[in-house]
């Protein structure tokens, strides 16, 4: 089975610029998550989708971050405008749900804001 | 919200020794506890998980134990090998009674495990 796909793998931008990340979950996985992992820390959930609906976005900085999953499959996370503290790895994960709890992570996008 | 504390932050062992990493959680409603291994520059990989209706689970050289009363769970790696060197994260989540997940994993801070040959 193909894993979670993410692109780009690396991105360097200047502060106040915008950036977008893309994620394609494992086929058939209804739930999709975006996590932020700052260097030396564990991943922190930004937003969770169930199909194309938002389940939890309580930790998403909504003044600058947005995410969508229009057709219930792939998803896009956007930052506009970026700040220096947004430098991190952005991980996408997916899970089958319906009694299966395992979350599978993509390779991540490493964002550097200068 | 849930808070997960993980110790130690670094752990150094000799090849063949055992390694133990401990986590505590704050939300007594949490009932799903996975462990992830993350090698440098790679994605987190699920290595073992446990649900709150089970006290212990084993898979070859790794095992996880859960003490719901004390709200802590531990990862045990026996006969460590250099390829076990990585960062290990514990996490906690809540699963609905119907089997679907709240999903949100709250992670510990990570343990850097180094296995010396």
Best mutation site among A23, A36, A43 for testing chain B: the one with the most B CBs within 10 Å?
Answer: A43
pLDDT tens per residue across span B46-100? 999 998 888 899 999 999 999 999 999 999 999 999 999 999 999 999 877 655 5
**Closest by alpha carbon to B87, among B31, B30, B29, B47?**
B47
pLDDT tens per residue across span A52-100? 899 889 999 999 999 999 888 999 999 999 999 999 999 999 988 766 6
* Residue B50 near residue B57 (C-beta atoms within 8 A): yes
Which pLDDT score is estimated for A51?
87
Q: Which of residues 6-45 of A touch B (CB under 8 A)?
A: 31, 33, 40-45
Of the candidates B4, B99, B105, which has its C-beta nearest A99's C-beta? B99
Longest dimension (CA), chain A: 43
pLDDT tens per residue across span A23-60? 999 998 989 999 999 998 999 999 999 888 998 899 99
Note whether B103 contacts A41, CB cutoff 8 Å. Answer: no
């Amino acid at each position: 089975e193909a894993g979670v796909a993410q692109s780009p793998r690396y991105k360097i931008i200047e502060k106040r610029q915008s950036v977008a990340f893309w994620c394609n979950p494992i086929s058939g996985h209804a739930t999709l998550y975006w996590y932020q992992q700052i260097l030396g820390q564990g991943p922190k959930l930004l937003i969770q989708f169930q199909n194309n609906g938002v389940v939890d976005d309580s930790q998403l900085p909504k003044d600058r971050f947005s995410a969508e999953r229009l057709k219930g499959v792939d998803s896009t996370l956007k930052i506009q405008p970026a700040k220096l503290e947004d430098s991190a790895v952005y991980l996408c994960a997916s899970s089958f749900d319906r009694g299966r709890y395992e979350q599978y992570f993509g390779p991540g996008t490493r964002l550097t804001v200068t | 919200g849930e808070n997960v504390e993980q110790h130690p932050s670094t752990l150094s062992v000799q090849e063949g020794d055992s390694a133990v990493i401990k986590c505590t959680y704050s939300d007594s409603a949490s009932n799903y506890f996975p462990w992830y291994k993350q090698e440098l520059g790679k994605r987190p990989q699920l290595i073992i998980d446990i649900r709150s209706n089970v006290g212990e689970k084993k898979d070859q050289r790794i095992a996880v134990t859960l003490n719901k009363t004390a709200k802590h769970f531990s990862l045990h790696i026996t006969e460590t090998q250099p390829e076990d060197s990585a960062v290990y994260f514990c996490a906690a989540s809540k699963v609905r009674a119907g089997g679907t997940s709240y999903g949100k994993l709250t992670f510990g801070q990570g343990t850097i495990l180094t296995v010396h040959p």
